[in-house]
Amino acid sequence: MIAPPARTEPCRGARRAALAGLALAALAMAAPPARAAPAPLPAHLWVRGGHLQATLDLSAVFPAALEKQLGNGLTNLVAIYVTVSREEGGPPAALSGEVIEILFDVWDETYAVTVKDWRTPAGARRVLPDYAALRRLLSDAREVDLGAAGALPPGRLVVEARVEVNPVSKEQLQRTREYIANPTAGARAGGGGGGGSRSVLGAVASFLLRDPDPGTDVRLLRSAPFSLAQVSVR
């Protein structure tokens, strides 16, 4: 009688490799998408009255294609955060922010815009005739006060801008409005007539600049590195 062939066990090594491959694939699908590298941020910097100030060109994050979204007849919100930090990274040494409310009038075909920042926390309202005028307003961030120059760390620095279109987090938006209304509570180092401690600034910045909720449109820009010695005094 011919004996049946011996039963072979599946290769345990191959099975482990297959399971490991499936696990890695699942992790890759579950992981959030990598954040895009910041776009270049044209920045003109100067020191006035001991404060670092900047005029920034944000046009790269307000393309013509955004007209359809901002002109949908609903109230749209744009939150803009500007920070100064070391070139190599780390927590920001200065933080400035503003919230812009935009409502397109479908009958008059104009944009009602309210800008809230530390200078006008209650909001400065204006009516713009078309999207081209709205885009110029959003893109041209003028005389942004980045706090006392003497409070900034030595070495190479960068200015970064984070723009959120229609932030999903209501808590974050409320905290932003509170910070705008009272920047001297510690959110800006040496800015707005006073300054808070680094620990308070770090706590505020870590909350406002945390990873956005799913569905929030976040756009990032980063200036070329600079040192305070390169910045003119007016």
Residue 6 forms part of a structural domain: no
Show the domain range for 194.
37-233
Q: Are 57 and 45 in contact (CB under 8 A)?
A: no
At 48-83, the pLDDT tens digits run: 999 999 999 999 999 999 999 999 999 999 989 899
Residue 133 forms part of a structural domain: yes
Percent of the chain whose predicted confidence (pLDDT) is above 70:
64
Q: Which two tokens stand for residue 183?
A: 């920047």
Backbone angles phi, psi at 222, to 5 degrees: -145, 130
User: Does 32 or 144 have the greater pLDDT score?
Assistant: 144
Our count of domains for the chain comes to 1
Residue 4 forms part of a structural domain: no
The DSSP line for 66-85 is GHHHHTSSSEEEEEEEEEEE
Residue 152: which of 185, 107, 201 has the closest Cα? Answer: 201
pLDDT of res. 207:
46
Residue 118 forms part of a structural domain: yes
Q: Are 156 and 96 in contact (CB under 8 A)?
A: no
Residue 141 forms part of a structural domain: yes
At 133-180, the pLDDT tens digits run: 999 999 999 999 998 999 999 999 999 999 989 875 666 667 666 666
Residue 53 forms part of a structural domain: yes
Q: Are 93 and 84 in contact (CB under 8 A)?
A: yes
